[in-house]
Structure 1
Amino acid sequence: MSSNMRSSVSELSSALRSCRAAFWGIGAMSGMLNVLALTGSLFMLQVYDRVIPSRSVSTLIGLSIIVGVLYVFQGALDALRMRVLSWSSSLLDERVGRRVFDAAGQVSLRIRPTGDGLQPQRDLDQVRGYLSSTGPTAFFDLPWIPLYLGICFLFHFWIGVLATAGALILCALTLMTELLTVGPAKEAAAAGVKRNMLAESTRRNAEVLQAMGFAGQLGRHWETANSSYTQSQRRVGNVASSLGSASKIARMILQSAILGMGAWLVIHGQASGGIMIASSIMMSRALAPVELAIGSWKSFVAARQSWGRLNKLLQTIPAVSQPLELPKPKSKLTVETLSVAPPGDQRLVVTDASFELSAGQALGIIGPSASGKSSLSRALVGVWHPARGKVRLDGASLDQWTPETLGPSIGYLPQDIELFAGSIAQNISRFDEQPDASAIIAAAQAAGVHELILRLTDGYETQIGEGGAVLSAGQRQRVALARALYRDPFLVVLDEPNSNLDAEGETALTEAILSVRARGGIVVLVAHRPNALSGVDHVLAMANGRVQAFGPKEEILGKVLQRPTVVGGMRISAPGEGKAS
């Protein structure tokens, strides 16, 4: 087992170990409950063997009072046990819930996404739900089965033999339940992930589906995935329900067999009537945990699969240690023989890129589509981890900071704009718990979106909906630009920031770049349209994932105009001379 695997397993295990005292308490309460469960059998034994022969009403009343008190105490103890189980599940969620949330948000940056993004949260819900149900109580009660079987042997040897045979039969049914459900349960989980992914992508792309009318085709794909999911679920349910019914029937047969055996022993003078009735009740109580385990097996299997997926997730995204906090970067960006591959892929999309920028400089990255421009920008801000090489700020590689400590020094505007449900002010301030109103307004003004925001009904408090649905594409881009400029970050990386901007927006973009340079920041800008290069002083040309040229803007653009093959055959006009062709 690798060290990462040990680390991830111990992380979840330590969360459970924090509930160890509660589990010891549950075990102690389970022991008391199983002893108290003898109350009914012993009461019947005393009634049949003492009260009825002696016709003593006072003895019956005394026994009834004692039994009543014991039943009340048993009920209160059982309720307390369930509360402690529920508290333990909540404590587990408290200990690992944030870790699971953080890991789920980062997993697509480490490996190729293969499942539903919300699956980790559902897995944690599944584990928590199972822990707070009656299912785990069966495992706390199972060790007490020998107590009941031992008492059955004390009643009579053949009663003990029959009770033991019944327990073995139900244990065999439990094993069969495990063997017959594990395969269909895995198939159901995989089909459920595929079904949920289709549903989520349909929701995200509702406009495209409506406009081009292929919702029906996707609907049929969903029906196929859903049919596979429901069939697998039905197989799991059928096995669990069939074996659950078999266990109930077996228990009833065994109870009747015990009663018949007791009657035979009474007829032959080898047992009393009280033993006959008490042994039947004792048999029922002895087999109850096994029957409960079979009945809750489907939930147990689902929780076990969820636990395994959470283990794998935390193995993939280990907890980040807190390194020594470094000073905020303020002077230099260095890229050293950087190679980048997409998450979960071995294919390099950027190979051996090297360059250096100093405070006050701005770099424009140009090149044809699929030349590695966006991949390079992702590596510069730490979104994608280098396959080899380093990205350094003031000499320190990005992995020497945590994202939380480095984040305020980074401004990033991705190609695909991602805004969050909330107000415009919250989005610009990056959902800062103590936002600086003046910094929010300054960032909006730097992005040229301040006046636009004021014209909205609620101004900065306007709720933009999921993904910024209330705003136009250009408005979303300018709000995202303001977010990138919030609190004057040192390194600002903009990936095609003018793709949805009008002339006014492009002017504001240029002014924003110049203002970052004026205050001593560094700007890296990925551009297809040459107008975006107005504010930069350096240009880097890429083709096929490699740096073809790097240097002052006029020099590099002059080379590109004279030799278009410098950027893989894509001709780029100088600013003001036209558009890329």
Structure 2
Amino acid sequence: MTQSASLLALKRLLIPLLFLSLISNLAILVSPIFMMQVLDRVVPSGNLSTLALLLLVALAALFIQGFVDYSSDIALDNTSRFVETFGTSQVFSSQQDASQDALNDITALIQFFSSGLAKTALNIPWIPVFVIALSLIHPYYVVLVLGIVAVLLAVSQIEKLWLNDPQKTVASLRQDETKILEHAVSFQKKSGIAEVSKNLFSRYFSLCHKRQTIDQSIAKVAKTLTAVSGFIKAATQLLALSLGAFLVVQGALSAGGMIAASIILAKTVGIIDGCSSGLPRIKMAFGAYGRLIGQTNKSEVHQTEIENLTGHLRCEELIYPRGGGAPARLDRISFVLEAGECLGIIGDSGSGKSTLLKALCGVEPCPIGAVFLDDTEVRTLGAKSFYNTVGYLTQQAELLDGTIAENICCFSETPDDAMILKAANTAGVHGLISSLPRSYETDLSYERHLLSAGQCQRIAMARAIYNSPKYLFLDEPNALLDAIGERQLCDTLARLKSQGVTIVMVLHRSGVLGLTDKILRIDHGRVADFGNRTEVLGRMNNGSSKLEIPLSLNSLQDVSDWITERFSRNSDQEFCQKAVLIASEMFNIALQNAPNDRARIGRFHFKFEDEKTCEITLTEDQPTSVTQKMNKIRSLLKHPEVNMLDLDADEMGLAVVAQMSDGFEIKNIENTAVFTALLKGQRKSLSQGIQH
């Protein structure tokens, strides 16, 4: 049964429930009719046989009412469980975008059926029955009912208008208090910032005082209006009896009719008041039901279960609008990956990388465009096929309370130990898990502190590959890893590639970029470049590897980080270190050999000549005085026996760069200093030619 069908089945319950409600409400008239008959017939005639017959009929009617109420309660309880069982399961299986909202609506329906609110709603259609009964006794009772109900509604409306804004203010203050108290307790545990905690506690008590003041004024008004409402309800039957007595004196009504009318009127006012107070929640429940039906009608699509997927991936014209006239989060993204290929998605923060990854794996499909796994659109892929063939790892993966083994097998009811071990070995975490005191049975509910964030990320990778997926989608998988963890991640990805798994990764750090076959560069939601890794990196290096930076000591680390980002392969680590050292020395030489009486700007340019050769250029818009020193250093380097430890710091830097590079020049061209170093991957020994 689909979710839409299971929820629509609730409509079929309406007629039987209304019928039971009708019987229950008609039974309310038993006591008034019995009293009227006793006072008008039995008492004047003294006929005890009539009394006995009336009593038997009344008791039979009350027995039927009890049975009907029991049946109605059982039906509503079963309906509540039906909604919880079928509604919740179908919300999860339908893979809706707004599943949390749907679950909230399911909860609202469950409370509607289980709290007695449904019985209140079922009473609404029968209010006219009581009004008609009163009108048959005497029309004045209808006028009295309408008057009492009007006063009660007026009191209720005054309460809403008077207290609505203050109650919202109190709720907002409570939220602020909770947040501030949490921050205060957090800061209290940290050394060096006790004053922050003290100030937060002061603000918390200030908010408490403000809230209590408003709460006190609300309580006075609310209790006053409650007392007024209670007085009116208590006076209802007295007013009904007084009106009845008046009519009896006027000869327009019998004594039995007076008693019956007072009972019916009190019941009618009570039902109307209950329906009035419960009406907002009734509307909320009906709104939740309407939203659920509307969502399921829109979201239910035919899903296809496919046992074997090859790993081929194709996306066509993906567009993810932002709304409000803002540029789209994704704008006409299209590309194709063959089975077993590895794609790296790169770009600036906020460019749309994570949005694209979620769209590709079906976690958050694009409203416009399509993603095909083989020839199956990702939105129509059945839940079982999705679970078995697609692995997904978020940027900061979360392990749930339970054992590590349960987390790896996704809390399967039939875990496979062999598959758990295989996933852990493939992810390179078997040794890590085995080193824990309870190994795979480590319960993260109590022993989460045994794992660092990076280790949790690696275990989450084992979970992502537990079912040996054909597609693996990773959002910055190395973001939380140290150097050792990153190398193990590279080994894992290499093994998965050898098994033919299609891998798509969002990357900021370049540590695993060398494993990619293709690179997709995104800029403001659009494809800026796509192709083979070497081609894309080559185009990036030729056109965009430039850095403009202040020439000051504070900028040296930025230079090192920028040079490091130029290298994408683990095998280039030694080459990268060499380039970082040379660029840093060039930066220091330029800094020390020109006037510092004004702000200075240096411009680096990095270029790969080929895979084993790069060129680093530093320019500054003023001449440098280091050219003469360079001539001295070249002369000294021709004599290995010279002890260069006697050189000044900048001269030593010149010697280091000249030694390590495969070509180093310093020129002043039209009042511009130009430092150029050529580097090759095969590193020379720094010790050659420098005597200690």
Q: Report the TM range for the smaller structure's normalisation.
A: 0.7 to 0.9
Q: 2:418 aligns with which of 428, 438, 444?
A: 438
Q: 1:33 aligns with which of 24, 36, 54?
A: 24
| Corresponding residue SS for 2:299 | coil
Please tell me whether residue 278 in structure 1 is matched to residue 260 in structure 2.
yes
Distance 1:176 1:165 in 2: 16
Please tell me whether residue 464 in structure 1 is matched to residue 444 in structure 2.
yes
| Corresponding residue SS for 1:305 | helix
Contact 2:426 2:462 (8 Å CA) reproduced: yes
Larger radius of gyration: 2
User: How far apart are 1:472 and its partner, in Å?
Assistant: 1.6
Q: Tell me what 2:597 maps to.
A: none
Q: Tell me what 2:394 maps to.
A: 414
Q: Tell me what 2:641 maps to.
A: none
| Corresponding residue SS for 1:18 | helix
Task: Rate the CA distance shift 1:16–1:526 in 2: closer, same or farther, 3 A.
Answer: closer
Q: 1:84 aligns with which of 72, 75, 79?
A: 75
Task: Rate the CA distance shift 1:515–1:203 in 2: closer, same or farther, 3 A.
Answer: farther
User: How far apart are 1:476 and its partner, in Å?
Assistant: 0.8
Task: Rate the CA distance shift 1:307–1:99 in 2: closer, same or farther, 3 A.
Answer: farther
User: How far apart are 1:25 and its partner, in Å?
Assistant: 2.8
Q: Tell me what 1:518 maps to.
A: 498
Q: Tell me what 1:304 maps to.
A: 283
Please tell me whether residue 495 in structure 1 is matched to residue 475 in structure 2.
yes
User: How far apart are 1:220 and its partner, in Å?
Assistant: 6.3
| Corresponding residue SS for 2:343 | strand
Decide which moves more: 70-79 or 414-423.
Answer: 70-79
Within 5 Å, which residues of 2 pair with 1:331-346? 331-340=311-320, 346=326
For 1:165, give the aligned amino acid: V
User: How far apart are 1:75 and its partner, in Å?
Assistant: 3.3
Decide which moves more: 346-355 or 99-108.
Answer: 99-108
| Corresponding residue SS for 2:444 | coil
| Corresponding residue SS for 2:310 | coil
Task: Rate the CA distance shift 1:419–1:343 in 2: closer, same or farther, 3 A.
Answer: farther
Decide which moves more: 467-476 or 243-252.
Answer: 243-252
Task: Rate the CA distance shift 1:494–1:253 in 2: closer, same or farther, 3 A.
Answer: closer
Distance 1:39 1:242 in 2: 36
What does the per-residue CA deviation read over 1:321-361, in whole Å, with 9 as the maximum and x for residues that have no partner? Answer: 22444563315233445444569995334444444332333
Q: 1:370 aligns with which of 350, 353, 359?
A: 350
Please tell me whether residue 75 in structure 1 is matched to residue 66 in structure 2.
yes
Task: Rate the CA distance shift 1:403–1:264 in 2: closer, same or farther, 3 A.
Answer: closer
Please tell me whether residue 474 in structure 1 is matched to residue 446 in structure 2.
no
Q: Which has the higher contact order (CA 8 A, sep 6+)?
A: 1
Please tell me whether residue 572 in structure 1 is matched to residue 566 in structure 2.
yes
User: How far apart are 1:417 and its partner, in Å?
Assistant: 1.4
What does the per-residue CA deviation read over 1:375-433, in whole Å, with 9 as the maximum and x for residues that have no partner? Answer: 33223212333365543333444334245423422222221213323322232223334
Q: Tell me what 1:4 maps to.
A: none
User: How far apart are 1:301 and its partner, in Å?
Assistant: 0.7
Distance 2:54 2:213 in 1: 53
User: How far apart are 1:289 and its partner, in Å?
Assistant: 1.7
Distance 1:288 1:144 in 2: 13
What does the per-residue CA deviation read over 1:262-287, in whole Å, with 9 as the maximum and x for residues that have no partner? Answer: 33444455544333323322332343
User: How far apart are 1:497 and its partner, in Å?
Assistant: 1.4
Decide which moves more: 351-360 or 501-510.
Answer: 351-360
For 1:520, give the aligned amino acid: G
| Corresponding residue SS for 1:531 | coil
The unaligned stretches of length 5 or more in structure 2 are 550-561, 581-692
Distance 1:315 1:206 in 2: 45
Task: Rate the CA distance shift 1:321–1:536 in 2: closer, same or farther, 3 A.
Answer: same
The unaligned stretches of length 5 or more in structure 1 are 1-9, 109-116
Distance 1:134 1:73 in 2: 20
Distance 2:545 2:212 in 1: 52
- Give me the TM-score of the superposition, normalised by structure 2: 0.66
Decide which moves more: 94-103 or 80-89.
Answer: 94-103
For 1:128, give the aligned amino acid: I
Contact 1:191 1:226 (8 Å CA) reproduced: no
User: How far apart are 1:459 and its partner, in Å?
Assistant: 2.6
Distance 1:167 1:24 in 2: 28
Task: Rate the CA distance shift 1:97–1:188 in 2: closer, same or farther, 3 A.
Answer: farther
Q: Tell me what 1:113 maps to.
A: none
| Corresponding residue SS for 2:396 | coil
For 1:98, give the aligned amino acid: S
Decide which moves more: 137-146 or 559-568.
Answer: 559-568
Q: 1:126 aligns with which of 85, 89, 108?
A: 108
Task: Rate the CA distance shift 1:386–1:147 in 2: closer, same or farther, 3 A.
Answer: closer
Q: 1:507 aligns with which of 466, 478, 487?
A: 487
What does the per-residue CA deviation read over 1:418-473, in whole Å, with 9 as the maximum and x for residues that have no partner? Answer: 33233222322233343332222111101111122223333323332399666320
Q: 1:23 aligns with which of 14, 38, 42?
A: 14
Contact 1:33 1:74 (8 Å CA) reproduced: yes
For 2:274, give the aligned amino acid: L
Distance 1:120 1:253 in 2: 44
How many residue pairs align between the two structures?
Answer: 554
Distance 1:560 1:281 in 2: 87
Q: Tell me what 1:97 maps to.
A: 88
Task: Rate the CA distance shift 1:142–1:128 in 2: closer, same or farther, 3 A.
Answer: same
For 2:357, give the aligned amino acid: S
Within 5 Å, which residues of 2 pair with 1:290-301? 290-294=272-276, 297=277, 299-301=278-280
For 2:477, give the aligned amino acid: P
Distance 1:204 1:385 in 2: 37
Distance 2:410 2:205 in 1: 36
User: How far apart are 1:99 and its partner, in Å?
Assistant: 4.2
Task: Rate the CA distance shift 1:398–1:270 in 2: closer, same or farther, 3 A.
Answer: closer
What does the per-residue CA deviation read over 1:57-95, in whole Å, with 9 as the maximum and x for residues that have no partner? Answer: 666566555544544443343333233233333333334
User: How far apart are 1:508 and its partner, in Å?
Assistant: 2.0
Contact 1:123 1:310 (8 Å CA) reproduced: yes
Task: Rate the CA distance shift 1:53–1:93 in 2: closer, same or farther, 3 A.
Answer: same
Distance 1:151 1:390 in 2: 63
| Corresponding residue SS for 1:422 | coil
Contact 2:25 2:126 (8 Å CA) reproduced: yes
What does the per-residue CA deviation read over 1:473-507, in whole Å, with 9 as the maximum and x for residues that have no partner? Answer: 02211111112222221122222212222343222
For 1:302, give the aligned amino acid: R
Within 5 Å, which residues of 2 pair with 1:394-405? 394-405=374-385
- Give me the TM-score of the superposition, normalised by structure 1: 0.77
For 2:140, give the aligned amino acid: L
Distance 1:344 1:107 in 2: 20
Task: Rate the CA distance shift 1:437–1:271 in 2: closer, same or farther, 3 A.
Answer: same
Distance 1:412 1:202 in 2: 36
Q: Tell me what 2:34 maps to.
A: 43
Q: Tell me what 1:380 maps to.
A: 360
Distance 2:7 2:68 in 1: 23
Please tell me whether residue 169 in structure 1 is matched to residue 147 in structure 2.
yes
What does the per-residue CA deviation read over 1:10-42, in whole Å, with 9 as the maximum and x for residues that have no partner? Answer: 977x65652345433332233323333233223
Q: Tell me what 1:111 maps to.
A: none
What does the per-residue CA deviation read over 1:125-177, in whole Å, with 9 as the maximum and x for residues that have no partner? Answer: 3332233334443443444445444444554xxxx122111232345357658
User: How far apart are 1:518 and its partner, in Å?
Assistant: 1.1
CA RMSD of superposed structures (Å):
4.8
Task: Rate the CA distance shift 1:71–1:332 in 2: closer, same or farther, 3 A.
Answer: closer
Decide which moves more: 440-449 or 547-556.
Answer: 547-556
User: How far apart are 1:521 and its partner, in Å?
Assistant: 1.6
Contact 2:148 2:236 (8 Å CA) reproduced: no
Contact 2:309 2:374 (8 Å CA) reproduced: yes
